[in-house]
Amino acid sequence: FQGYLDHEQFNQLEELQDDANPNFVEEVVTLYYRDSARLVHSIEQALEKSPIDFNKLDSYMHQFRGSSSSIGAKKVKAECSLFREYCRAGNGEGCMRTFQQVKKEYTALRKKLETFFQLARQAGPVDRARRPK
């Protein structure tokens, strides 16, 4: 996970998990997958339009950045911030280039998270408290 996740933010999610909310981390991450898949799709469609509606793009990316930030997805968040700068500058090409980076980081993060949950499920509840490398 090194570099992909802000440990303080992600640890907080783990600390919010307890007997009353035993699957909290997985629920939150599932929400993230759902919301981000929708936003990625919306952004792709918006980038295909001509002329590009930069305000709309910025709004989508603001949401994407917000939820990425809440789960501690710092690389994704960084690319989102860069994207928004291009948006504000009205630079369509910059947006498209940066969006490829956003998708790349996002896909890499999803893979890491999926592995994390697979390991957590195998290990069982006792080992859940321990963080993966």
Q: Give the tokens for residue 82.
A: 């860069």
Q: Scan residues 39-98 and list those touching another protein (CB under 8 A).
A: 62-63, 65-67, 69-72
Binding test (CB under 8 A) with another protein, winner from 21, 23, 100, 107: 21
Say whether 32 sits in a helix, a strand or coil. Answer: helix
For another protein (CB under 8 A), the number of binding residues is: 23
Does residue 37 bind another protein (CB under 8 A)? no
> Least CB distance from residue 35 to another protein, whole Å?
6
- Judged by DSSP in three states, 54 sits in helix
Contact residue for another protein among 2, 18, 126, 133 (CB under 8 A): 18
Supply the Cα-derived Rg of the chain in whole angstroms: 16
Contact predicate 22/90, CB 8 Å: no
Site of tokens 């993966």? 132
Give ∠ CA 81-26-127 in degrees, rounded to 5.
115
Please report, as ranges, the residues that interact with another protein according to CB under 8 A: 8-9, 12-13, 15-16, 18, 21, 24, 27-28, 31-32, 35, 62-63, 65-67, 69-72
